[in-house]
Structure 1
Amino acid sequence: MKSIEIDDDLYHFIAANTQHIGESASDILRRMVMPGSVPANQSTSKADTAQEVAIRTPDQSPEVSAECHAQAVLEELDGQQLLIIPKMVERWLLVLSVIYKHHTSAFAKVLGMSGRNRTYFATDKDTLLETGSSTNPKNVPGSEYWVITNNNTVKKINMLKEVAQVLGFNEQEVTQLINIFAPEHI
């Protein structure tokens, strides 16, 4: 296996294009750059394939396969009594921080989320400010990620569904998550 260093933005782009849990960086790049080629893990012989490449940013360890920890998220959020938090923005940030806590290595996948004119997540506030005049970016507590917060509750629910799906929650887990986050809007 060979290692290369890449910039953070390229790492996040590759991570955001993951199609299934455990997909290697090599398979993602092969799919994007060489459509129609056979993934290395489906080849008949390791000698027939290119050597695997571990992608690292200068301050990160090699990419590890991400596992969905939806039940841990749901259990922790269930104990938070979110309904006593009156401001949806505070509730929204708490939910995202718990998801981040349990999906730290995979959370970069949310960087690919965006709307028609706005980027929803970034690793810095300025990136989100550049995508709109009233995005009101806030830091996801306990993380290096930022999220736009100037959305109505229905949009926050839709974004939360997308975050959960991107991180591997199944349909039932997504529904449970939304019921915990905003039962008054279901």
Structure 2
Amino acid sequence: MKRIDIDDELYRYIASHTQFIGESASDILRRLLDLSPTAIAESAVSEPEPTTAVAVTCPENSEKGVVTEPARSAGEETRTSNTPESAVEADVAGKVLDNITDEDLAAQKGKVGRFLYILSVLYRCHTKSFHQVLNIRGRDRLYFATSEQALLQSGKSTNPKEIPGSGFWVITNSNTTKKKSMLTRVAETLGYSAAEAEKIRDYL
């Protein structure tokens, strides 16, 4: 198993250069570094290494900012860019429910703390597709953004807070009912069923 440790800023930089849903970190870096397959072949050692693929894992299996590349076994099917995003993340879908514990929730400060904590777990388990939450908004205001300033400009008294470790920001001045509604929409956007989304919402 190969591991590459990167800081949060570099991780966000790599993620910001994604050109299509499902693009792997290896493909992004290959493009940014202008490494063609020919150039890689010429610089490679004579004995080829096993084919690898980037795996997105939940927080209990990886540290923030770590990209894990497990070797594939012979004949194992390789995911392509044409694979639906929900299928790419099928191995982590639902595991958010396994990673939100009563102890962690109790350690948060108030409803806002619990709200941000739940969103942070959703982000860690769905890093590649989390950008879709940017499409969740109200009639005349943004709910999510990639900067504090964007939310401040979208309305008065938004009280934006950063979702821990994600680089995404969310408004927090809404009441508990609205926060639950936002969590429901986020969960459903990330591919959870209505029943699962309700369970995630009720953690608040």
Match of 1:166 in 2: 189
Instruction: Indicate how the Cα distance of structure 1 residues 121 and 9 shifts in structure 2: closer, same or farther if over 3 A, else same.
Output: farther
Q: Give SS of 1:156's match.
A: helix
CA distance in 2, matches of 1:158, 1:58: 38
Q: Give SS of 1:147's match.
A: strand
Q: Give SS of 2:132's match.
A: helix
Match of 1:143 in 2: 166
Decide which of 59, 73, 87 is 2:110's aligned counterpart. Answer: 87
Structure richer in helix, relative to its length: 1
Match of 2:94 in 1: 71
Query: Offset of 1:70 from its aligned partner?
Result: 3.5
Q: Give SS of 2:127's match.
A: coil
**Structure 2 residues not aligned, in runs of 5+:** 1-15, 34-53, 55-79
Match of 2:123 in 1: 100
Instruction: Indicate how the Cα distance of structure 1 residues 10 and 116 shifts in structure 2: closer, same or farther if over 3 A, else same.
Output: farther
**1:102 alignment partner AA:** C
Query: Offset of 1:72 from its aligned partner?
Result: 1.3
CA distance in 2, matches of 1:143, 1:77: 17
CA distance in 1, matches of 2:179, 2:118: 11
**Structure 1 residues not aligned, in runs of 5+:** 1-7, 16-21, 25-53
Q: Give the TM-score of the pair, scaled to structure 1.
A: 0.62
Instruction: Indicate how the Cα distance of structure 1 residues 104 and 10 shifts in structure 2: closer, same or farther if over 3 A, else same.
Output: closer
Say if 2:170 is the partner of 1:153. Answer: no
- Tell me if the contact between 1:70 and 1:173 (Cα under 8 Å) persists in the aligned partners: no
Structure 1 residues 62-115: Cα deviation after superposition (integer angstroms, max 9, x where no partner)? 978441534211111035442564510000000000000000000000011110
Instruction: Indicate how the Cα distance of structure 1 residues 149 and 9 shifts in structure 2: closer, same or farther if over 3 A, else same.
Output: farther
Decide which of 133, 154, 157 is 1:131's aligned counterpart. Answer: 154
Structure 1 residues 112-139: Cα deviation after superposition (integer angstroms, max 9, x where no partner)? 1110121111111111111011100000
Match of 1:44 in 2: none
RMSD: 3.2
**2:170 alignment partner AA:** V
Identity %: 39
